[in-house]
């Protein structure tokens, strides 16, 4: 980007240089001058609304003769751009009076019910009134009355009396989330915020409006009356509800999580969270959490001590290994574990048990890192950093209802369009909510099952147009292999009109970001489709440079990390094939142990083996496979017929009902570690609370202790130490040592092949 | 327990599936008009005000929620945004009104010149209070602010016309006239405003298109959307 032009301005007599055009409300922060505000929010709007008038300042411009010519009236500093010679006063008598006037005005219809208002204690209106407001009001008339505590959804409660009409919530819903479900009705003194006809506020980002509201007009139905801000402690954490890795604050009282707030990370979620994240961590403080280990006796679960269960597990594993070999033991899980835990889990299985039967994937295709994308693009799953999505020239959402599947990635995609004018193509067999959030995107409504044809058809059109780029790909060969995908045929097969195909092909080019999710991961012919997508990526010139690229977004919080850590039957940490002798030996030297050289069983393989009674011990960690496996029946049969089932989880899940031993694990709030999000960003989370019982342990401890009982201790004592070891085994993680990790986390860079970006 | 704590007394908010298109009731003429008006603006959302006038005409003089939904759908925006605009402007009727709306000015000049007498007289004559509609659905009486015709005070707006220098007698005669006339109705006012948004040639175009559709009726079902 070009160097920003600097201008010299003066605030309260202090001279400073700021970028030209910066709003004075921001410039003032640079020298610690406090300007009160309500409606200003730097992320909202191409332009600020400037309707609360709280941020007034006096301003003028320096004249050539050195005098200052003041503007006749106070200016709103949230819309006053810095220009050369601007002189600003933020605390004159006139401004003090103006602020008192504004606050008195805003409070005319305000109910002042702070004692029963959830915002009390962290309320900008309360604070500004205290610091800048008048002591008394001259307004003695009846205030306006409207229904109080009106629930507009399961999450949000609206109190229209408290609203100061700052338009933050309405701007958010129109500009950021794009659902435009909140709007001002009526005008003047009757103005009120509402959904259409008071129908349900179904936005997937509704929780953000609660945080944005500078008063207690929008409050959380979940957090309602649970705590006062001063009763709570906060800890930095990472949301566990999808693979995006949003940064969040966990606000908790002793041993009880009361709410989740968005935490700023420019690289990931800016400051937003989706409702799944904001309201979906209640499980942490559920009373149904497991509190101690359980073993099955006479078909009932009885509590047991950790020593007992460790001894039992160790003896059953040893027995299995002796009778049938290490291949009779298998472990499923990892996508919900931290990197450190996932790493230790696979090390436990490989070193202490001696098997490669380990897998974290529950989806049908069990897409692994070692597949098409890694081989041809040099990245396991995603090429584009989340923050770079907004720089895209074209966004191609392929087979995904992005709002639902990857809400925060969706916000970036929408920003690319709304703020920066990217073109948008949405291909999906059914109408999706995502389509409604863009103005007339190009929609390709293909017939389900014709995904590969569609992509090949687009590639074909680009090849024909002569715009194709040679980027690690032979255009002649491709041309030959795609020659049959003529627009006419593709249109006929996919049901997408030829014109639309051509229009789409024209929009695809350098700077195209392709976003795919579940439908692509689970496609019956994933490998073929992935190849087609890679071809399209390469020939549009997005293979190795620029911000464009192919992104297959992942399902779970640490799906990426589990793959990185080698919770896969055929790959060691760092995508090292188990049967690559040289590479394996390097890891053996670090671990001072010998490793099995044969690839183990995948989840599907393990479940099939278990269903046939061939698996003596099945260890399931943090996954409710009886419910969530894509083929739940197979999982249930496997759990029934496995010799010995160990389930490690927070709850007595359906899977745990089949267990012989249940191990209670700590939640994300009760331990520390790192997760790797879908764009390869390794981010730390910290321990907030103690586990609900002293017998609940972090998974890391369980793996480490179990190894001791198996006679092969893994000498580590903390997550931090494990991360150091990970850095040795998989050098891409070397920068992730806890003491070096920057606040934004580390997006590890693939050095796996010569490609990758 | 405090009123603020009890949430359960409110019925659960109804959910609308935005992916489901609403019921569409615009006539072929309305569709044609909107099509043309949209072209006057850089984006179709900017056609919101005329679109609401079309809807007010099509839905018989006021804008029920269904009308707002139809406008939102046809302009590709959210229901809430349309409701926000419709409720901002007072000339869009959010509730059912009579066939004819009598809007009596009681602002400064008119009140000095007898605006309130006119209003009271009408209240008596029609047997309703300002803001109400006669049981037969003929008239809705409203008290309004300055109509910008102070020179003719006291003034009353009826549909697309102003009637000034009113006296009770003039009002009586006017009421009789209005009862049996198709002029100055709420629907006619909406149509007048819609027509103002169209040029002469556009209006002719629409007539031609409608005639053609009529001729080949049963065939194409117009370009919706
Ligand atoms: S919004 Fe703020 S000022 Fe208003 S009642 Fe709540 S805490 Fe008090
Ligand atoms: S509800 Fe809150 S955020 Fe929305 S306009 Fe009112 S005060 Fe502002
Ligand atoms: S913050 Fe500037 S006008 Fe509201
Ligand atoms: S006061 Fe009635 S028209 Fe002006």
Closest CA to B61 of B134, B157, B175, B137: B137
Closest CA to B206 of B70, B31, B89: B31
* Whole-number Å distance between alpha carbons of A219 and A277: 16
Return the DSSP state at A265. Answer: B
Q: Percent of chain A having pLDDT more than 90?
A: 90
Give the domain extent around A539.
382-552
Residues A357, A469: one domain?
no
A179 with B10: Cβ contact below 8 A: no
**Which of A220, A248, A279 is a domain's end point?**
A220
Q: Where in chain B is the domain with CATH 3.40.30.10?
A: 100-187
Stretch A569-575: mean pLDDT: 93
Q: Could you count the other beta carbons within 10 Å of the beta carbon of residue A678?
A: 26
Atom of ligand 1 nearest to the CA of A117: 6
Calculate the CA A483 to chain-centre distance: 40
pLDDT at B8 over 70: no
* Whole-number Å distance between alpha carbons of A461 and A438: 25
**Quick one: tokens of B31?**
């569709």
The whole-number pLDDT of residue A757 equals 54
Specify the pairing of strand A576-577 against strand A571-572: antiparallel
- Has residue A737 been placed in a domain? no
Task: Tell me which residue in A151, A174, A439 faces B76 most closely, judged by beta carbons.
Answer: A439
Residues A391, A539: one domain?
yes
Residue nearest to ligand 2 atom 8, measured at CA: A166
The whole-number pLDDT of residue A334 equals 94
A143-170: per-residue pLDDT in tens?
999 988 899 999 999 999 999 999 999 9
Angle (CA) A414 A418 A419, round 5°: 110
Q: Which fold has domain B22-93?
A: Arc Repressor Mutant, subunit A (1.10.10)
Radius of gyration of chain A (CA): 29
Instruction: Find the A153 Cα to ligand 1 centroid distance in Å.
Output: 21
Stretch A306-311: mean pLDDT: 97
- Token look-up 């399902």 returns A555
pLDDT category at A367 given cuts 50, 70, 90 is low
| C-alpha atoms less than 13 angstroms from C-alpha of A537 in its C-beta half-sphere | 33
Instruction: Find the A79 Cα to ligand 1 centroid distance in Å.
Output: 26
pTM of the model: 0.93
**Quick one: tokens of B55?**
């809807």
The answer for A17, left when phi > 0, alpha when psi is -120 to 50, beta otherwise, is: beta
Residues A98, A111: one domain?
no
Contact B108/A at CB under 8 A: no
CATH number, domain of A609, equals 3.40.50.740
CATH number, domain of A449, equals 3.40.228.10
Q: Is the CB of A80 under 6 A from ligand 3?
A: no
The whole-number pLDDT of residue A350 equals 97
The whole-number pLDDT of residue A471 equals 78
Contacts of A267 (CB under 8 A, 6+ apart): A385, A386, A387, A681, A744, A745, A747
* Whole-number Å distance between alpha carbons of A328 and A325: 6
pLDDT at A288 over 50: yes
Q: Where in chain B is the domain with CATH 1.10.10.1590?
A: 22-93
Which CATH class for the B100-187 domain?
Answer: alpha beta
pLDDT category at A717 given cuts 50, 70, 90 is confident
Residues A497, A527: one domain?
yes
Return the DSSP state at A353. Answer: I
A196 with B79: Cβ contact below 8 A: yes
* Whole-number Å distance between alpha carbons of A126 and A115: 11
Q: Could you count the other beta carbons within 10 Å of the beta carbon of residue A396?
A: 29
Quote ipTM for the complex. Answer: 0.91
Which DSSP string do the residues of A570-612 spell out, in sequence order?
SEETTTEETT-HHHHHHHHHHHTS----S----HHHHHHHHHT
Q: How many CB pairs under 8 A join A and B?
A: 88
**Quick one: tokens of A237?**
């954490």
Q: Are A35 and A57 in contact (CB under 8 A)?
A: yes
A436 with B18: Cβ contact below 8 A: yes
Residues A705, A657: one domain?
yes
Q: Is the CB of B105 under 6 A from ligand 4?
A: yes
Q: Are B79 and B68 in contact (CB under 8 A)?
A: yes
Instruction: Find the B162 Cα to ligand 4 centroid distance in Å.
Output: 11
The whole-number pLDDT of residue A2 equals 56
Number of domains in chain A: 4
The answer for A316, left when phi > 0, alpha when psi is -120 to 50, beta otherwise, is: alpha
Residues A591, A662: one domain?
yes
* Whole-number Å distance between alpha carbons of A163 and A180: 18
> Which residues of chain B have a CB within 8 Å of the CB of A194?
80, 83
Distance between first and last Cα of chain B = 51
pLDDT category at A752 given cuts 50, 70, 90 is low
Q: Is the CB of A78 under 6 A from ligand 3?
A: yes
> Which residues of chain B have a CB within 8 Å of the CB of A424?
none
Contact B95/A at CB under 8 A: no
Contacts of B21 (CB under 8 A, 6+ apart): B73
Return the DSSP state at A275. Answer: H
Three-state secondary structure string covering A165-228? CCCHHHHHHHHHCCCCCCEEECCHHHCEEECHHHCCCCCCCHHHHHHHCCCCCEEECCCCCCCC
The whole-number pLDDT of residue B222 equals 42
Residues A29, A129: one domain?
no
* Whole-number Å distance between alpha carbons of A182 and A167: 9
Contact A230/B at CB under 8 A: no
Stretch A212-231: mean pLDDT: 95
* Whole-number Å distance between alpha carbons of A704 and A713: 7
pLDDT category at A368 given cuts 50, 70, 90 is low
Instruction: Find the A225 Cα to ligand 1 centroid distance in Å.
Output: 14
């Amino acid at each position: 980007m070009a160097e920003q032009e600097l201008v010299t301005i003066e605030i309260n007599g202090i001279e400073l240089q700021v970028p030209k055009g910066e709003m004075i409300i921001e410039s003032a922060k640079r020298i610690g001058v406090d300007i009160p505000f309500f409606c200003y929010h730097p992320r909202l709007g191409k332009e600020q609304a400037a309707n609360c008038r709280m941020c007034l300042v006096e301003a003028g411009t320096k004249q050539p003769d050195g005098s200052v010519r003041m503007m006749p009236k106070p200016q709103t500093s949230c819309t006053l751009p810095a220009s050369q010679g601007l002189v600003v006063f933020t605390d004159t008598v006139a401004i003090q009076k103006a602020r008192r006037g504004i606050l008195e005005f805003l409070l005319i219809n305000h109910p002042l019910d702070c004692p029963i208002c959830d915002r009390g204690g962290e309320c900008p209106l309360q604070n500004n009134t205290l610091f800048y407001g008048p002591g008394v009001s001259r307004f003695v008339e009846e205030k306006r009355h409207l229904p109080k505590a009106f629930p507009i959804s399961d999450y949000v409660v609206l109190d229209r009396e408290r609203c100061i009409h700052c338009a933050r919530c309405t701007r958010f819903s129109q500009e950021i989330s794009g659902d435009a479900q909140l709007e001002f009705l009526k005008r003047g003194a009757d103005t009120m915020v509402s959904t259409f006809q008071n129908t349900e506020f179904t936005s997937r980002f509704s929780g953000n409006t609660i945080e944005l509201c500078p008063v207690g007009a929008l409050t959380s139905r979940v957090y309602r009356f649970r705590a006062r801000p001063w009763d709570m402690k906060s800890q930095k954490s990472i949301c566990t509800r999808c693979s995006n890795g949003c940064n969040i604050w966990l606000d908790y009282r002793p041993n009880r999580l009361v709410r989740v707030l968005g935490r700023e990370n420019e690289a990931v979620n800016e400051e937003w969270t989706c409702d799944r994240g904001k309201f979906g961590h209640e499980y942490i403080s559920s009373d149904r959490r497991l509190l101690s280990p359980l073993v099955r006796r006479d078909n009932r679960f009885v509590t047991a001590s950790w020593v007992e269960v460790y001894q039992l597990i160790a003896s059953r594993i040893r027995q299995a290994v002796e009778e049938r070999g290490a291949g009779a033991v298998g472990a499923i899980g990892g996508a919900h574990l931290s990197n450190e835990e996932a790493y230790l889990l696979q090390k436990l299985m490989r070193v202490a048990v001696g098997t490669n039967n380990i897998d974290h994937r529950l989806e049908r295709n069990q897409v692994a890192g070692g597949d098409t994308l890694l081989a041809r693009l040099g990245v396991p799953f995603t090429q584009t950093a989340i923050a770079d999505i907004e720089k895209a020239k074209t966004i191609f959402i392929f087979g995904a209802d992005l709002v639902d599947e990857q809400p925060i990635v969706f916000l970036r995609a929408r920003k690319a369009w709304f703020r920066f004018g990217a073109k948008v193509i949405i291909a999906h067999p059914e109408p999706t909510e995502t389509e409604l959030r863009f103005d007339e995107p190009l929609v390709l409504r293909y017939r389900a099952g014709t995904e590969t044809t569609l992509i090949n058809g687009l590639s074909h059109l680009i090849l024909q147009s002569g715009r194709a780029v040679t980027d690690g790909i032979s255009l002649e060969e491709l041309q030959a292999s795609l020659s049959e995908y003529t627009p006419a045929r593709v249109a006929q097969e996919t049901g997408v009109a030829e014109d639309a195909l051509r229009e789409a092909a024209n929009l695809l080019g350098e700077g195209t970001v392709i976003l795919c999710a579940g439908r692509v991961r689970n496609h019956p012919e994933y490998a073929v489709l992935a190849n087609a997508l890679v071809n399209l990526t390469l020939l549009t010139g997005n293979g190795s440079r620029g911000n464009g690229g192919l992104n297959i977004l992942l399902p779970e919080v640490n799906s990426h990390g589990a793959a990185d850590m080698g919770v896969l039957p055929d790959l060691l940490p760092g995508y090292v094939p188990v049967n690559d002798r040289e590479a394996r030996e390097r890891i053996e030297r670090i671990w001072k142990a010998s490793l099995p050289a044969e690839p183990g069983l995948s989840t599907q393989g393990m479940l099939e083996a278990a269903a046939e009674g061939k698996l003596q011990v099945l260890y399931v960690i943090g996954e409710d496979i009886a419910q969530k496996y894509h083929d739940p029946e197979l999982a249930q049969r496997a759990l029934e017929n496995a010799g010995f089932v160990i389930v490690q989880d927070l709850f007595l899940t359906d899977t745990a009902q089949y267990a012989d031993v249940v191990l209670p694990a700590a939640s994300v709030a009760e331990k520390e570690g790192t997760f790797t999000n879908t764009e390869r960003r390794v981010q730390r989370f910290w321990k907030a609370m103690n586990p609900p019982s002293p017998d609940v342990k972090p998974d890391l401890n369980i793996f480490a202790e179990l190894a001791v009982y198996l006679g092969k201790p893994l000498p580590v004592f903390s997550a931090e130490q494990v991360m150091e070891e990970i850095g040795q085994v998989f050098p891409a993680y070397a920068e992730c040592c806890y003491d070096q990790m920057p606040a934004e986390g580390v997006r590890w860079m693939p050095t796996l092949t010569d490609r990758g970006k | 327990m405090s009123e603020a704590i009890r949430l359960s007394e409110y019925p659960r908010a109804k959910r609308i599936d935005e992916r489901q298109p609403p019921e569409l009731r615009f006539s072929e003429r309305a569709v044609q008009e909107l099509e043309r008006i949209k072209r006057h603006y850089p984006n179709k959302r900017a056609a919101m005000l005329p679109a609401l006038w079309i809807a007010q005409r099509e839905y018989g003089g006021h804008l029920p929620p269904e009308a707002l939904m139809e406008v939102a759908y046809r302009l590709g925006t959210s229901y809430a945004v349309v409701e926000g605009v419709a409720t901002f402007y007072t000339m869009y009727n959010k509730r059912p009104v009579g066939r004819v709306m009598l809007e009596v000015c009681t602002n400064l000049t008119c009140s000095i010149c007898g605006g309130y007498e006119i209003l009271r007289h009408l209240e008596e004559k029609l047997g309703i209070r300002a803001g109400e509609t006669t049981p037969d659905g003929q008239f809705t009486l409203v008290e309004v602010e300055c109509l910008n015709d102070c020179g003719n005070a006291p003034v009353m707006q009826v549909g697309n016309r102003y009637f000034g220098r009113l006296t009770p007698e003039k009002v009586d005669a006017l009421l009789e006239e209005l009862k049996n006339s198709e002029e100055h109705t709420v629907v006619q006012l909406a149509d007048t405003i819609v027509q103002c948004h169209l040029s002469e040639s556009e209006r002719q175009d629409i007539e031609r298109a409608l005639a053609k559709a009529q001729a080949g009726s049963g065939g194409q079902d117009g370009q919706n959307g």
